[in-house]
Structure 1
């Protein structure tokens, strides 16, 4: 008879999990007994935080969750940062961990990896955290997790298995996978929303990450309304490249706010209307004076940040299709002209904090036009959040919004590359942020992934330096000594090259697709900017 740990593998496969990120330890070794024969792909990061970021990038690129196998205690506190980022950005992630024996929990006996209350510690960075008491409860608990992933606002789910439960004999568990559907808006609410939108003279659409899985329907709705559309970072690409109604992420800028203020009806689809997308100046200046229709899969989110006049608890794609049925005729509201006027007023490519990176970002897109670009918190990423255009959703994401952690870019890009191996992936990182998870270069090499790791090397924390200067704060802790990244890459049996021109960067990016592993491209920021 198989044990609990082996039955877990069967259930993960039944629920569609394909990849597991984990570092084996004495407390999780039982999970690895049946792993070679399970059909699951296992990737070993060099740090548990890297495991979480890889699962995050995998999910954002594919729309499907991955699992993490993590040891109790330090393994869980290590992955907590990655879980916090995933929770902030509504990214599905299944974290399976060990925990000490049931009879020892909470007793403070100084056992290996002991936390006073591991489940309680992790509940703050997860949709829910559960301690498995018996093997027979596995199908129910996993069913809850996948119900969250499929029909509610997703995020990390943590399931911990006590050391005395993991090896328990367990009969065959029927891997019943329930088809779960998100809530649907009532016909009356859809009719009400459609009436408001039909009567609007100056409508505006706000697109959030909840639109990523419904790009075609959302794009058609925006065109049917002939309405300008602002996108959050996680909605970039929903309208495709160069769409005449796409304003991009401009809600924090004066011209964008002016347009929003004068909209008579605002349709917010799958966006939390949060600070890092709508108030990057931190002055509370994003105001909506027209009627607000909000659509979200999370009932609580419908009441946060901006009070709605009409709130629909429903899947964005279903609402978009429902509105299209009720708005059969193409409106004519000069939407493209309004967008063009706002873009001219924004003049984003000429802005002081964007212009230095415009040619650099153009080069990335020209060299690898179909690439997914995964970023850390660094100057080119901040600029790209404003001006980068993507041909489809899930091609541009980063940790510069929401939880805002450093070290995300490299491991998340590796997760994306493993999830969509047919597509080029660029990790766009700064030299400071890369040092947080530098060891994951070895993981990428081991996986044989042709990942382009592009470092904007400005010798430290350049964005914080700039902020210190603006606030008249002495520079301290921001000028950092970095290793020779090219030599470091070669020591890990990876290709490394240093560049400072568009031609050299273009060539290195194209060559990276032919490599048998990652290519590290060190961009000398001071020479590029000169």
Structure 2
């Protein structure tokens, strides 16, 4: 039996019949399709989405990059068991996907990209928006998506869709391989009819695997843990992807081993769990980083060991330190010369906990007392940063975080990605549930927060979702506010105005760049951007896009506005200008280094001093083999 459909119609019908299953939970794999239409997809995928609107939900986007961010937010909140597709026209619509695709692939989050492509039959060459490459007739702008996609194919004939679509689903549902998947669709092929086998449209369930540990690797892992006196767990994003939070809590409680978390792993344990010692690395807590410096065994669970986590190779300073890497990806399991335990995080933790229980293994009481005291000291630092004594003053950025922290419960979700907020949140936020803390820091992409919050809210419509946005990232991509308003997606946005790129301004100053080009100010007489702040009104801008806006001038105003926003059932923004003067206490300083190379030769004293400090830090770097 066959059914005659266009390629686009067949693809939409196929996607509507794909499901995932893990631990008995069945989810639709492609929950919806985002789209902006142009001549590369309007007559193909556009018509197919109209044809099958009853089986494939559609979301209208305003920017191609932000549509991918929304899809990524949805996928992460869905535990990677459900994803969204994104369709665009050819040319600029397709190339606008590249940043979002890179973000998805870096963070190993599934998203299906369906960009239009130039004519496969080449009836007119070049067509509108076609890139002509003199040495290769088969290259289009969509080839820019190859290096940022986990799977890429160009469907130049209808018959090719069947194997390609199946491969795309395999990659999207593979816990090791997942990321951005691109099927480039020439606009003439999208509209071409073909007789499709009915089997292509049958319901198909993709099982998301939980591979267990190899017995030999498990034995070596147990030996490594038992030999350690100062072990430390580094919990990464893989804990969340595996839904291994309870398994990690059981492991930590049984062994007494403290748990530090990366940006992606924060929330793996609740902030008040006895073994949780907070974030690790450059944006980490003093407690976690002090433990890391003296740890003789680092147990990485689902972490990629990025430079922020390792403090650019300077953090783990114990001469005898070893690494035990529990990771579903062999690539990550072998990092830092570690003992690999290649397995699903939850399966591996259960196996490790059970094996250690046979030996009655637990760390010394003196070690528990040490990190417990360190945790208590750090919480005092957090209290001092988050609490504003006077209600009638302008709040600092940490005090904005503190006002929100005091308001929310475990059902709220906070979304952030870039600027100075990730550092403040990693050190100071008290995560109350495993999925409350949604930081995209693998790619740290400005503009992610608003569209991602929409995606998170679509995946968890019953929960309050907060996009924490600085003025720099807001100006990058505010357009999906219109989508939130149109769809009635009641996200909450906290918009902080600090008149520039605060994070990079501070970094610039520390590396001898003298904050050049980082402030949002008029030019002064000497040509530098050191004049008065720009008279932009971001609150008015958000309101013009349809969002309800609450302005907060003081700490007291802020508390009232946040409470009002939390209770709102429409998209609502709380706008606050933060206090940034040197006389006001801000967030605690970085507790570990991060490598940003400093000019090796310079005449300006700021750069000379910065280079001297840089060389001192570089001298402490280790290569763990």
TM-score by length of 2: 0.77
Distance 1:368 1:346, change over 3 A: closer
User: Which residue of 187, 191, 214 maps to 2:215?
Assistant: 187
- Tell me the equivalent position of 2:147: 124
1:315 counterpart (332, 341, 344): 344
Aligned equivalents of 2:369 and 2:427: distance in 1?
20
From 110, 128, 131, the counterpart of 1:92 = 110
Larger displacement relative to structure 2 (410-419 or 352-361): 352-361
Matches within 5 A, 1:165-204: 165-170=189-194, 171=196, 172=198, 173-175=200-202, 176-204=204-232
Distance apart, 1:268 and its partner CA: 0.9
Q: Which residue is 2:423 aligned to?
A: 382
> Which SS does the other structure have where 2:299 is aligned?
strand
The structural deviation recorded for 1:9 is: 1.3
Unaligned ranges ≥5, structure 2: 19-27, 132-138, 388-395, 521-533, 586-625
1:425 to 450, 465, 482: 465
Which segments of 5 or more consecutive residues in structure 1 lack a partner in the other structure?
none
Q: Does 1:44 align with 2:60?
A: yes
* SS of match in other structure, 2:108: coil
Matched, 1:525 2:578: yes
Kindly tell me the number of residue pairs found equivalent between the two proteins: 523
Matches within 5 A, 1:429-448: 429-448=469-488
* Shift of residue 499, structure 1, vs aligned partner: 0.6
SS in 2 for 1:2: strand
Q: Distance in 1 between matches of 2:306 and 2:219?
A: 28
- Alignment partner, residue 248 of structure 1: 278
Determine which of 220, 233, 239 is the counterpart of 2:263.
233
Q: For residues 404-457 of structure 1, what are the alpha-carbon distances to aligned partners after superposition, in whole Å with 9 as ceiling and x for unaligned?
A: 221111111111111111110001010111011112111111111111110111
Q: Secondary structure at the match of 2:485?
A: helix
Give yes or no for contact 1:485–1:496 (8 Å, CA) kept in 2: no
Bigger drift between 494-503 and 74-83 goes to 494-503
Query: How far apart, in 1, do the equivalents of 2:504 and 2:92 lie?
Result: 29
Partner of 1:272: 304
Residue number among 338, 351, 356 corresponding to 1:327 in the alignment: 356
Equivalent position of 2:560 in the other structure: 507
1:404 counterpart residue number: 444
Alpha-carbon separation, structure 2, partners of 1:476 and 1:221: 48
Q: Deviations over 1:471-490 (max 9, x none)?
A: 44344432323632332333
Question: How has the CA–CA distance of structure 1 residues 8 and 338 changed in structure 2, closer, same or farther, with 3 Å as cutoff?
Answer: farther
SS of equivalent to 1:69: strand
Q: Say yes or no: does 1:458 pair with 2:471.
A: no
Deviation at 1:125, TM superposition (A): 1.1
Q: Is the 8 A contact 1:296 1:302 kept in 2?
A: yes
Return the alpha-carbon distance in structure 1 between the equivalents of residues 219 and 334 of structure 2: 21
Q: Secondary structure at the match of 2:234?
A: strand
Partner of 1:364: 404
User: How far apart, in 1, do the equivalents of 2:187 and 2:375 lie?
Assistant: 58
Distance across 1 between alignment mates of 2:385 and 2:288: 17
Instruction: List per-residue Cα deviations over 1:64-93 (Å, max 9, x = no partner).
Output: 322111222212221211111222222211
Q: State the Cα distance separating 1:128 from its structure 2 match.
A: 1.9
Partner residue, 2:46: 32
Could you say what the CA RMSD is over the residues aligned between the two structures, in angstroms? 2.8
Is 1:101–2:154 an aligned residue pair?
Answer: no
Q: 1:142 to 1:505 in 2, by over 3 A?
A: farther
**Residue 99 of structure 2 is aligned to residue 81 of structure 1:** yes
Residue 144 of structure 1 and its aligned partner are, at CA, apart by 2.5
Q: Distance in 1 between matches of 2:550 and 2:541?
A: 11
Q: Deviations over 1:193-249 (max 9, x none)?
A: 123323433221111000002111122112222101110111111112311111121
Q: Distance in 1 between matches of 2:414 and 2:245?
A: 18
With 373-382 and 408-417 compared, the bigger mean Cα shift is at 373-382
Following superposition, the deviation at residue 287 of structure 1 comes to 4.2
The answer (yes or no) to whether the contact 1:261–1:290 under 8 Å persists in 2 is: no
Structure number with larger C-alpha Rg? 2
State the Cα distance separating 1:181 from its structure 2 match: 2.0
Distance 2:482 2:68 in 1: 16
**Paired residues of 2:386 and 2:401 also in contact (CA < 8 A):** no
- Listed one character per residue, the Cα deviations across residues 320-373 of structure 1 (whole Å, up to 9, x for unaligned) are 121222233472533542322443676783699999544322211222322111
SS of alignment partner, residue 456 of structure 1: strand
In the alignment, does 2:22 pair up with 1:22?
no
Question: What does residue 619 of structure 2 align with?
Answer: none
Question: 1:204 and 1:222 mapped to 2: Cα distance?
Answer: 10
In 1, Cα distance between the equivalents of 2:546 and 2:400? 27
SS of equivalent residue, structure 1 residue 164 = helix
Q: Confirm or deny that 1:296 pairs with 2:348.
A: no
- The Cα shift of 1:257 comes to 4.0
Q: Which residue of 1 aligns with 2:391?
A: none
Residue in structure 2 matching 1:61, options 36, 55, 77 = 77
3-state SS of the aligned residue for 1:138? helix
Between the aligned partners of 2:271 and 2:535, the Cα distance in structure 1 is 36
Task: Find the counterpart in structure 1 of residue 16 from structure 2.
Answer: 13
